[in-house]
Amino acid sequence: MNHEEVIKFYMKNLKGAKISGSYIKAPCPFCMKHGNKKPGVFAINISPGSYFMGYFRCLNKCMHGGFASYFGKLLDIDPKVIPGFDPDYEPFAKKISYPPVAMNLSEFTSLLHSHNLTFFKEFGVSDKLLKMMRIGFNGKYIAYPYFLENGACYAARFVLPENDDNTFWRGEEECFEKEYRIFNVEEIERCKDGAIFITDSEKGLLALKEIGYPAVCVPSHIDLDVFSKERLAAVKHIFLMVNNSPEAYMSARELATNIGFKVRIIKWPFNMKRGYDICNLATDKAADFGKTISAYIQNSKTFSPFVSPQKEFKGYFNSLNEKKGMELLGLSTGFLKMDNALDGIRGINIMGGQPKAGKSCFFIQISTEIARAGIPVIYYDFENGRKQIYTRTICRLGEISEKELRLEDIEKDKSERIIKAFGELQSLLPNFRVITDRKLTPAIMKRHIDFIQHETRVNKTMIVIDSLHKLPFKNLSERRTGIDFWLRNMEEIRDEQDVTFLVVSELSRGSEGRYSETPDLGAFKDSGDIEYSADNAMIFVPDWDALDPISESTRNSTLWLVASRENSPGKIGNYTLNYPYWGFTEV
């Protein structure tokens, strides 16, 4: 709104109006209508640099304040002459059938006596504001009435003064639902073309209203998502101020991301304790509370989901410096040709192969070697079982067959190799976690990564998935969609948590039930977004009959790189399985 137009509008329509510094002041035109014997001071903020320029309120608190549009509505002024008039504006409306009978609030407001008012005066809230907001008391609990857009109250939240967690609802049950949990919701319409605070407690709202700021709130930060972009479309500036906790700040960020650039999140100073809120600030600052909030507003910045350019450049520059002198950009697999072909394992690496070709064994070897090098590995197994993975690792490390592991009497050198292999397995297990949870979700995977990075104090992580086609899906008939869903989440996890993926995939059979002899992207089963998501797509081709393993004494396989974002496709190398010790050797 234009600053001069706002001043002209109020001066014309307000009897006795005079400009006094940053305010227009006049006798309140509404006090007498609300039962006051004489009018209080009616004040309008006209500071040109203020987000609340044009906001009016009665200092006697006879009624709620608002901006020019609401003032014009109260005095039945022609909307066309109101600053900011929009002929196409339509108020937010919900499809709702209001209950037939509203709550009788008088039975609660009549019980709010002086000893209850003392509780509110601790953080500066006056009895006049409590009366205007129609706050009540039932003898033990404070009653906060939740009015709806039609001006009626059908539900109230009762909160024990000494304990905000001790609470219950009363009234129409359907109005207890989350979609109705906006306290002072009518304030949104009153703040059309202006600014408003959103906070996460009724007490905090009252503290803000007392010093002259319009506000709405929800009972807890977990309810913030009840606000939508459409509901707040007519408000120009939104200040989000929640309690000082990571959980509340995360909820505020999510809301700000959904609403957009008009949101400013008020950040607490770094030295504030966890859980510190608006009421604590009002109590501690007392007479300076208003100045403190004003300073917070001035220091606030428009919320942006983007990283600041300075931080972005610094992060990029540091990442380049970290890579100086590195032989490989990614993690070493232990296979020289594979490391050279891929410049180390990094990003999302998907390897396909026919059944029994040795895919799992190949990845078990790579992942355990990476874990031995000190990089944490989470192996999601839906094929072999935890014990089988450990057993094959022992066999490879000790060059002992599974049968020999079960013998009671064994040669001395083999016994020593077994003992040494068990010691090596035990030493790598802190960095090598096998998970067989068939209820796995991307959210659970993210938490697993956070835990292992916290435990190992290493930010890099390798995730092995064996196999892509056995990841949990909601509906097996929608496997293709489910695979694409998981691949999208792998991309997000790769970028956000510095994770390298090794993923086993199945291959499709040809028309005659055979597997293609030509390795290419089309060979992947239910390939979906593999060609778009995989940083490296590989195919493991056995040179022996994988379905008749006993018929061949030598088991040679060829690894092909069929697609890559940064590397040249082609043959990576030949690998011989040292059977029955389950270890591959690069030829």
Q: Which two tokens stand for residue 427?
A: 């030493």
**Angle, CA 162 vertex, CA 156 and CA 168 arms, to 5°:** 30
Q: CA triplet 156, 159, 163: central angle to 5 degrees?
A: 165
Q: Structure tokens of 48? A: 């040109």
**Which helix (H) or strand (E) segment is 320 a member of?**
helix 309-323
**How many CB atoms within 10 Å of residue 114?**
8
The Cα–Cα gap between 439 and 529 comes to: 23
- Residue 572 corresponds to which tokens in the numbers above? 């990576």
Strand residues in 102-180 grouped as ranges (E): 136-137, 142-147, 153-160, 163-171
Long-range contacts at 40-47 (CB < 8 A, ≥ 24 apart): 42/14, 44/10, 44/14, 46/3, 46/6, 46/7, 46/10, 46/19, 46/22, 47/22
- CATH assignment, 3-81: 3.90.580.10
Can you list the alpha helix ranges (DSSP code H) found in 467-525? 479-497
Largest alpha-carbon pair distance within the chain?
A: 108
Per the confidence metrics, is the pTM higher than 0.85?
Answer: no
CB burial of residue 41 (10 Å; 0-12, 13-18, 19+): middle
Q: What stretch of H or E contains 248? A: helix 246-259
- Domain range 119-299, its CATH number among 2.40.50.140, 3.20.20.140, 3.40.1360.10, 3.40.50.1370: 3.40.1360.10
The pair phi, psi for residue 334, each rounded to 5°, is: 90, -5
Contact 220, 204 (CB under 8 A): no
CA distance 289 to 208: 9
Cβ pair 252, 290 in contact under 8 A: no
Q: Tokens representing 289?
A: 């509370």
Cα dihedral 254/258/264/270 (nearest 10): 10
Give residue limits of the domains in the chain. 3-81, 119-299, 336-586
Rounded distance between C-alpha atoms, residue 152 and residue 476, angstroms:
49
Question: Which residues, in sequence order, are CB contacts of 84 under 8 Å at separation 6+?
Answer: 1, 68, 69, 192, 193
Domain 336-586 is of which CATH architecture? 3-Layer(aba) Sandwich (3.40)
Note down pLDDT in tens along the chain; length 587 residues: 689 999 999 999 999 999 999 999 999 999 999 888 899 999 999 999 899 999 999 999 999 999 999 999 999 999 999 998 988 888 888 778 899 999 999 999 988 887 778 899 999 999 999 999 999 999 999 999 999 999 999 999 999 998 999 999 999 999 999 999 999 999 999 999 999 999 999 999 999 999 999 999 999 999 999 999 999 999 999 999 999 999 999 999 999 999 999 999 999 998 999 999 999 999 999 999 999 999 999 999 888 877 778 887 887 788 778 777 778 889 999 999 999 999 999 999 999 988 888 899 999 999 999 999 999 999 999 988 899 999 999 999 999 999 988 888 888 899 999 999 999 999 999 999 999 988 899 999 999 999 999 999 999 999 999 989 888 876 655 677 888 899 999 999 999 998 999 999 988 876 666 666 667 787 887 666 787 889 999 999 988 776 665 545 678 999 999 999 999 999 999 999 998 899 999 98
